Amino acid sequence: MATMDVRWAAWDGSGLEHLRLTIEPTFVYADGVILAVDASGRPYRARYRVDCDERWTVRRAHIEMLEEPVRRLDLRVHQGSHWIDAATGVPLSLPGCVDVDIYPSPFTNTLPMRRFSSPVIGQPAVIAVAWVGLPELTIRVAHQEYTLLERVADGARWRFRDLDSGFTVDLLVDRDSLVRDYPDLARRWCAIEKR
């Protein structure tokens, strides 16, 4: 078992994220807290838990806004890419989604990068994700592309592209595929603590 604590600061200094990541032989789970500011300048707090199998495939994602009253989104993946609202059992229309992307967390970019077992430099991989926007706690399908640009001694550089909006950014990641720098969003501000 490995447990890692990772902390990021918002690029503009207006927020923080703390992640506790646990990797076991048969499962991976991430427990994170986000302190951020929305587009209007209003601060908010959120917590997430993402459970994956040993291949880093999402099985469940629980996101809650820490406010009164608490708002929650509890997602469960059933039979590969069929998503349901775990609280009600109601199926969600998220066709083809294999990952969850919680904005503004840099952590959820790790999920597809870890799952791509032997990416070829320069060859894009396209995925559909369940994109969750905070603080609204909205969910929609997003089409994304990841391209490994280069491997370096202590990590790699990937190009991330949102195919729906055209947004593109290069991400520097460490050996564990955890984001170091996500320009204009977040940068890691402390070393990973492993136990």
Banded model confidence at residue 119, pLDDT cuts 50, 70, 90: confident
pLDDT tens digit sequence for 69-91: 999 999 999 877 799 999 888 99
Full-model pTM: 0.94
Q: What are the tokens at 145?
A: 């592309």
Cβ pair 37, 16 in contact under 8 A: no
End-to-end Cα spacing for the chain: 8
Q: How many CA atoms lie within 13 A of 81 on its CB side?
A: 12
Residues in Cβ contact with 45 at an 8 Å cutoff, skipping those fewer than 6 apart: 33, 34, 35, 36, 65, 66, 67
pLDDT tens digit sequence for 143-174: 999 999 999 989 999 999 999 999 999 999 99
pLDDT of residue 78: 82
State whether the Cα torsion 74-56-107-113 is positive or negative: negative
pLDDT of 101 over the 90 cut: yes
pLDDT of residue 190: 77
Q: How many CA atoms lie within 13 A of 83 on its CB side?
A: 25
Share the mean pLDDT of the chain. Answer: 94
Ordered DSSP codes for 134-171: TTTTEEEEEEEEEEEEEEETTEEEEEEEETTT--EEEE
User: Mean per-residue pLDDT for 1-11?
Assistant: 93
User: What own/partner pairs with CB < 8 Å and gap ≥ 24 does 63-72 have?
Assistant: 63/102, 63/132, 63/134, 63/137, 65/134, 65/135, 65/137, 71/137, 72/137
User: Mean per-residue pLDDT for 90-111?
Assistant: 95
CA distance 184 to 13: 10
Q: What are the tokens at 73?
A: 């989104």
State residue 108 phi and psi, 5-degree precision: -65, -15
CA distance 32 to 102: 11
pLDDT of residue 10: 96
pLDDT of 187 over the 90 cut: yes
CA distance 180 to 173: 5
pLDDT tens digit sequence for 122-134: 999 999 999 999 9
pLDDT of residue 45: 98
CA distance 31 to 47: 8
pLDDT tens digit sequence for 24-82: 999 999 999 999 999 999 999 999 999 999 999 999 999 999 999 999 999 999 877 79
pLDDT of residue 172: 97
pLDDT of residue 105: 98
